[in-house]
Amino acid sequence: MTRSATARWIAACCLAAACAHPASRARPLDGAQARAALEADAARRAAQVAADAGALDRWLHEDLVHCHSDGREETKAGFIASLLSGAVDDREIRTERAGVYPCPGAAPGAGLCVVTAQALRVRVGGREFMVPGCATARYEAGGRGLALRAYVSRFRGPDAAPEECLP
């Protein structure tokens, strides 16, 4: 399987996890593993909002596949470039609810999925908008600890409750 095909397969697995609510099949993790994944996700979100290339380099896996809610896919280099250029202008990522689950299809301990209900404040065409959404972030252990391997987000309707992302 080519690197591109593998990346798409990982993204598809994350999308399936986001849509199928892994919590319905598995209990959320707690303890040190879950805390580490939530801390990694918080640090990655802070680096994303700050467009901090150095911190993003640390928190993003070399083979990252980032699937935006509009269907665009970006690699690690492309995502960082989009943030630095202002093409992606995330002003705030507010987590409303989060859970950590074993990633579907991963060996025990090999992948952790952080599933969140969030509100994303973005700047588009000179105007700012709060966009409610659901996201699944797949973290895998690497040489520098946990790193974001795949990310999939989807819009949540303006009247939808955060509970729609996590049961």
Residue-wise pLDDT tens digits, 111-140: 888 999 888 888 777 888 888 889 999 998
Contacting residues for 1 by C-beta, under 8 A, at least 6 apart? 9
Q: Assess if residue 86 is contained within a domain.
A: yes
Query: Is residue 33 in some structural domain?
Result: no
Tell me if 43 is assigned to some domain. no
Distance separating alpha carbons of residues 43 and 92, to the nearest angstrom: 13
Place of tokens 């467009």: 51
Q: How far apart are CA 84 and CA 89, in angstroms?
A: 9
Q: Which domain holds residue 59?
A: 3-18+50-157
CB atoms within 10 A of CB 144: 10
Q: What DSSP state is assigned to residue 71?
A: S
Domain count for the chain, please give it: 1
- Judge whether 88 lies within some domain: yes
Mean pLDDT over residues 53-62, rounded? 94
> Is 24 domain-assigned?
no
Q: Residue holding tokens 């959320």? A: 28
Q: Report yes or no on 112 lying in a domain.
A: yes
Spatial separation of the C-alpha atoms in residues 72 and 17, rounded to whole Å: 18
pLDDT, tens digit, for every residue of 76-91?
999 999 999 988 888 8
- pLDDT digit string (tens) for 144-156? 789 999 998 888 8
Q: Is the pTM of this model over 0.85?
A: no
Higher pLDDT, 68 or 11: 68
Q: Binning pLDDT at 50, 70 and 90, where does residue 3 land?
A: low
| Residue 14 placed within a domain | yes
pLDDT tens column, 94-109: 888 899 988 877 776 6
3 state DSSP class of 80: helix
Residue type, 26: A
pLDDT of 17-45, one tens digit each? Answer: 444 444 445 678 888 989 999 999 999 99
Q: What is the pLDDT of residue 8?
A: 52
Q: 65 in a domain, yes or no?
A: yes
**Which CATH number covers residue 59?**
3.10.450.50
pLDDT average, residue stretch 8-21: 48
Which band of pLDDT confidence, cut at 50, 70 and 90, is reported for residue 165? confident
